[in-house]
Structure 1
Amino acid sequence: MTTHQSSSRQTLANTFADAFLQYNSRLVVPIHLPHAFQALHPFASPEIAQLVSTFYHKYYADYDLRVTLLGINPGRFGGGITGIPFTDPIRLKEKCGIDHHLPMKPELSSQFIYEMIERYGGVQMFYHHFFIHSLYPLALVKDGKNVNYYDDKALFDAVYPDIISHIQALLQLPICRRVVICIGEGKNFALLQKLNQTYHWWQTIIPVAHPRFIMQYKRKQMELYLQQYLQVLHQAKQDCFDKS
């Protein structure tokens, strides 16, 4: 056990799952978004809240340290429906083994992430070592279509304080502070770098290409990107767990 793991066990009263779910239950739909933008809040549904609880108690019912991966914000067909980042209803049922009655619609990012998880060793091993979330915790839409938090300046200004408070809340969980993986090599990485220079959350940030970009524009090179992800995961795991 590393000193970071020992510290986490001493300071976290609840399991990783319980601590995260307590935070998650306090999320509310923001009322300060610019006109025409909307945040999706699936956790308000009792069915989704139960699915989320089942997922985290299944994979995070311990006090162990994880390496964090941070995306942009959930998509309306993935975390915007299931409440679980990068996990669409198909992957939730077929890969995570959690039954539900949600429409079985696929999401491109979820397809890539779960192929990567399978290559890593499967959901049990992956979620024991890693924790996935996003810089902004809720799906954002405009006119029924996905938007990123940085697509509009007024939207970005509105959610900027929430991004900071969200990450600071996640850091109360037992997550590794040596390294974080940023999903998105452009604006998402630039913002996380900027914030990290101010708040000193992590020692190292490693960027990787976003799964949607890969699946939409680089699908022929998917195998290459999968190998890049796996290399980064193993390096981050080594940096976090294998050094005193």
Structure 2
Amino acid sequence: MTAGSTTAERVLSFHEFLAGIDLQLPNGFKAVNPYAKDRSAGAAAALITDFYETFYADCLPRHLILGSSPARRGSAITGVPFAGPEVLSRLNHELAQGYRVAPASARFLDSVIHSYGGYSAFYQNFLMGFACPIGIISVLEGSRERNANYYDTQPLRRAVDNLLVESFRRQAECGADRSVCYVIGSGSNYKILAELNRDLQCFEELVPLPHPRYVTQYAPSRTAEFADLYLRELRRRT
């Protein structure tokens, strides 16, 4: 990354790298690349640029927060990790105005962000991304399409291994603060990124956070408790 570049410039440069990725996946899976070259002149590209130039046009060091991969009806459409319709509606683009999907996980994170101090305060301290920034969809014959995790099968994991390594390294450079990286998902996603970090030494520490989907689907009565856990961890280092 260019010395002195803004966070927005570093992230958009990373997206240019992703635009050239042609991910070859095992049978039964397909990739959804929100940064693909055939979308580079479309509404998604304009939305992505506007988002990062709105919230990241500076050189402040930020902590990185990494989920597993973008959902097919969420970030795989918009290209903006974990951003729901509330924050995207602030951006004057057709895709943002028409984007109304608000999964429970996005609503949970929105509540955490609001409690933290709002979007501007949150994005000033944190940069969100994915271990595998290209979405993966299961397309098994006879079944409807559904989101897949990059670690669901060993052949799938092997197919994305080089992308995981390069994305982890490049996103560490985008955030710049190497003291800690937060990992959404305390199971496989955290385990895999912890192994990568032992090899690459990108961060001093990785901190797992419970996945919002787990919270909202399996422990909805404890939503406030898990939101407080997020806030304690995030505020402990900012």
State TM-score, norm by structure 2.
0.89
Aligned counterparts of 1:103 and 1:174: Cα–Cα separation in 2? 27
Aligned counterparts of 1:213 and 1:131: Cα–Cα separation in 2? 22
Aligned counterparts of 1:40 and 1:83: Cα–Cα separation in 2? 10
Q: Secondary structure at the match of 2:237?
A: helix
Q: Secondary structure at the match of 1:161?
A: helix
Please name the residue that 2:7 is paired with. Answer: 16
Please name the residue that 1:5 is paired with. Answer: none
1:107-160 C-alpha deviation (Å, 9 max, x unpaired) = 222111111101100000000000011111111111220011111111111001
Please name the residue that 2:142 is paired with. Answer: none
Show structure 2 runs of 5+ residues with no match: 140-144
Aligned counterparts of 1:184 and 1:204: Cα–Cα separation in 2? 15
Please name the residue that 2:116 is paired with. Answer: 120
1:12 touches 1:63 (CA, 8 Å); kept in 2? no
Please name the residue that 1:38 is paired with. Answer: 30
The counterpart of 1:91, out of the listed 86, 90, 96, is 86
- Report the AA paired with residue 91 of structure 2: I
The answer to whether 1:66 aligns with 2:67 is no
Q: How does 1:149-164 map to 2 (within 5 A)?
A: 149-164=150-165
State TM-score, norm by structure 1.
0.87
Aligned counterparts of 1:203 and 1:22: Cα–Cα separation in 2? 25
Aligned counterparts of 1:142 and 1:92: Cα–Cα separation in 2? 29
Q: Secondary structure at the match of 2:202?
A: coil
1:180 touches 1:236 (CA, 8 Å); kept in 2? no
Q: Secondary structure at the match of 1:171?
A: helix
Aligned counterparts of 2:175 and 2:159: Cα–Cα separation in 1? 28
Show structure 1 runs of 5+ residues with no match: 1-7, 238-244
1:77 touches 1:106 (CA, 8 Å); kept in 2? no
User: What's the CA shift for 1:103?
Assistant: 4.0
Q: Secondary structure at the match of 1:27?
A: helix
2:23 touches 2:31 (CA, 8 Å); kept in 1? no
Bigger Cα displacement from structure 2, 41-50 vs 187-196: 41-50
2:64 touches 2:175 (CA, 8 Å); kept in 1? no
The counterpart of 1:137, out of the listed 133, 153, 167, is 133
1:51 touches 1:98 (CA, 8 Å); kept in 2? yes
Please name the residue that 2:220 is paired with. Answer: 219
User: What's the CA shift for 1:93?
Assistant: 3.3
2:64 touches 2:172 (CA, 8 Å); kept in 1? no
- Structure 1 runs of 4+ aligned residues shifted over 4 Å read none
Aligned counterparts of 2:127 and 2:88: Cα–Cα separation in 1? 19
| Identity between Structure 1 and Structure 2 (%) | 29
User: What's the CA shift for 1:98?
Assistant: 1.5
User: What's the CA shift for 1:174?
Assistant: 4.3
- Report the AA paired with residue 26 of structure 1: F
Aligned counterparts of 2:133 and 2:181: Cα–Cα separation in 1? 17
User: What's the CA shift for 1:187?
Assistant: 0.6
Q: Secondary structure at the match of 1:159?
A: helix
User: What's the CA shift for 1:175?
Assistant: 2.1
The answer to whether 1:50 aligns with 2:46 is yes
CA RMSD of aligned residues (A): 1.6
1:53-112 C-alpha deviation (Å, 9 max, x unpaired) = 000000000001001111111111221111111123x23434xx1243434122222111
1:73 touches 1:140 (CA, 8 Å); kept in 2? yes
Quickly say closer, same or farther: Cα 1:152–1:190, change in 2 above 3 A. Answer: same
2:169 touches 2:200 (CA, 8 Å); kept in 1? no
